[in-house]
Amino acid sequence: MANSGPAGLLWAPGKPGTWWGRAPTESRWAPLRLREACHDIRQPIAAMLAIADAALTERCLPDVTRSHLEQISTLAQSLADVVNQWLRADEPADEGVRLTDLVRLADEAVTAERVTFAGTLKLLPQAEPVLIHVNPVDMRRVISNLLGNATRAAGSTGRVTIEVGCDSGLAQLAVEDSGPGFGHIPEGTRLGWGIVAQILARCGGSIQYGDSALGGVRACFWLPLAAQ
């Protein structure tokens, strides 16, 4: 179980599992330039989707070509969802919240991450859906950021696992990597930590970072299960 703390406090990345950091606050109002950029890239994204969907209607496509086109369509749609969310950033915070299967989101994130990761990435089996009330666009961003950190740490020959489960009224998702551990890889933009913290804080969740049995880092977050 995750340790509890004052509202809005999450385990922070650093020394594993030893201190709390307050989740960064996020304005309801997206910066104007960001919204303008999102507005401008809507059409190119829509064009990508249309081209991929048109190509998928062609008969006698090789299976591998069809699979690649389907991946392009799925990834473009995910990007479109994020863009549309930023364009609607002034709407109520609970807009878009719905009953969502965390296992399905994890599977989608793994499929997307495998496109650019040469190592071994495995979603451990989970027989039943794990249902939560969240905005699925937000939760995809959380999982994608955790997977991106893990695959970058593991490197092209490394291993990453992701596991989804539930216990005592909480949904749980854990990402582990075989990388060198905390503080032993070059820093990225560090934007991902803030994104994860902000979204989980809004959802009433918590996250803990520690050592992984694979040799690197284990990042695990908890969220309330949907009432049955």
3-state secondary structure of 128: coil
Strand pairing class (120-123; 159-167)? parallel
pLDDT digits (tens, 9 = 90+) for 68-89: 899 899 888 888 888 888 777 7
Pair of tokens at residue 82: 């994020």
Does 126 share its domain with 211?
A: yes
Does 152 share its domain with 183?
A: yes
pLDDT digits (tens, 9 = 90+) for 37-64: 888 888 888 998 999 999 999 989 999 9
3-state secondary structure of 195: helix
Does 136 share its domain with 63?
A: no
Does 67 share its domain with 20?
A: no
Question: What pLDDT, on the 0 to 100 scale, is given for residue 26?
Answer: 46
3-state secondary structure of 25: coil
CA angle 200, 205, 208 (to 5 degrees): 90
Which residues, including other chains, have CB under 8 Å from residue 14's CB and lie 6 or more apart? Answer: 182, 209
Residue 55 belongs to what domain range?
32-87
> Is residue 4 in a domain?
no
Does 80 share its domain with 102?
A: no
**How many domains is the chain partitioned into structurally?**
2
Q: Are 87 and 38 in contact (CB under 8 A)?
A: yes
Does 50 share its domain with 117?
A: no
The CA distance from 196 to 213, in Å, is 23
The CA distance from 41 to 82, in Å, is 11
Does 52 share its domain with 16?
A: no
Does 53 share its domain with 102?
A: no
> Is residue 2 in a domain?
no
Does 168 share its domain with 197?
A: yes
**Ranges of the chain whose pLDDT falls below 70:** 1-30, 92-94, 189, 228
